[in-house]
Amino acid sequence: MSEAVRETMTVSERITESIAVKTVFTIHAFGLEIAISDTVVMTWIVMAILIALSAAATRRMKMVPGRGQAALEAFVTFVYDFAEENIHHHGRKYAAFLGTVFLFLVTANVIPAFTPDGGFGFEPHFTIKPLTRDINVTAAFAAVTIVTVLVSKIRYKGVGGFFRSFVQPMPFMLPFNIMEYAIRPTSLALRLFGNMLGGYIIMLLVEAVMPLVLPPVVGLYFDFFDGLLQAVVFTYLSTVFIAEAIE
C-alpha cells in the first residue's frame, strides 16, 4: 500500500488493514489454486530460523562445553526436568515436543519486535506481524496438542481405559467429559490468539499516538515479555493436559 493512501486512512482503518491476513502468492497445482498467506510465509521463516540455529548450535559439540554449549545444555536439561516434574516417569518422552512448541511460539511471538518504527511521514520498508494473530495458526497448535493428548491416553490406558474415562468419576459426567475435548483446544487457541492480537493492536495504537517515543518502551512488554509469557502459558497448559491424560 502506498504512503499516500495510508495517510488518508483513519487509525481504525490502519489497524484493520494491519491485522488482516493477506495472500502473498498463489500456487497452481493439479488444477487447484492454493493461496499462501503471509502467516504461512512467516511460519516457514520461523521454521528456517529454528533449523538454522539448531544446526549451528549442535555442529561442534565438545566434551568441555563453552558458554554457548553450556547455555544450550542448560535449556535442554531444564526442559527434561520440567517434563519429568509434571508428567513424571513418562516425561522424557514428551520433552522434545514441549521444547519445540515453546521455542516456536517464543520465536513467532518475539520476532515482530524487529520491525522498524515508523512515524512523521516515514514508513518502514518491511513489517513483521505476529504469526499468532491468525486464529488458524493458534488453532493448529491447539489441534496438535489435543491429538497428542488423545494418542497418549489411548497408548497408556488402552482403548478400553480411554472410553471408560468418559464415565469417570460418575456416569453422569459423560457429556461433560466429552465436551472437555472440545473446550480445551478451543481455550488454548483463543487464549493465545486473543492475547497476541490484543497486544498487537495496542502497539499499533501506541505507534499512532506517539510513534518515536513510546513504541520501543511499550514494545519491551508486548513484544518480548508478553510473547514469552504466552509461550510459557501455552506450553504449561499442554503439559498439564498430557499429564492428566496418562497419569
Q: Supply the pLDDT for residue 210.
A: 73
One digit per residue, pLDDT tens: the chain, 247 residues?
545 555 556 767 777 777 788 888 888 888 888 888 888 899 999 999 999 988 888 887 777 777 778 888 888 899 999 999 998 888 889 999 999 999 999 999 888 877 765 544 455 566 778 888 889 999 999 999 999 999 988 888 888 877 877 777 777 778 887 888 888 889 999 999 998 888 888 887 877 777 666 777 777 787 788 888 999 999 999 999 999 888 7
Structural Rg of the chain based on CA atoms: 21
pLDDT in tens, 109-139: 888 877 765 544 455 566 778 888 889 999 9
* Interval 80-97: pLDDT, tens: 999 999 988 888 899 999
CB of 235 within 8 A of CB of 142?
no
Q: Note the pLDDT tens digit of each residue in 194-203.
A: 988 888 888 8
pTM of the model: 0.84
At residue 157, the pLDDT reads: 84
Q: What span, in angstroms and rounded, lies between the C-alpha atoms of 114 and 1?
A: 20
Give the separation between CA 124 and CA 147, rounded to whole angstroms. Answer: 40
Do the Cβ atoms of 192 and 180 come closer than 8 Å? Answer: no
Please report how the helices 91-110 and 226-246 are oriented relative to each other, as an axis angle in degrees rounded to 10. 160
Q: What is the DSSP letter of 223?
A: I
Query: For 61, which DSSP code?
Result: -
Nearest C-alpha neighbor of 168 from the set 234, 244, 93: 244
3-state secondary structure of 31: coil
CB 6 within 8 A of CB 123: yes
Look up residue 66 and give its amino acid: G
Residue carrying C-alpha cell 503439559 = 239
Q: Which of 231, 206, 244 is nearest to 118 (CA)?
A: 206
State the Cα torsion 212-213-218-224 to the nearest 10°. Answer: 60
At 226, phi and psi to the nearest 5? Answer: -65, -40
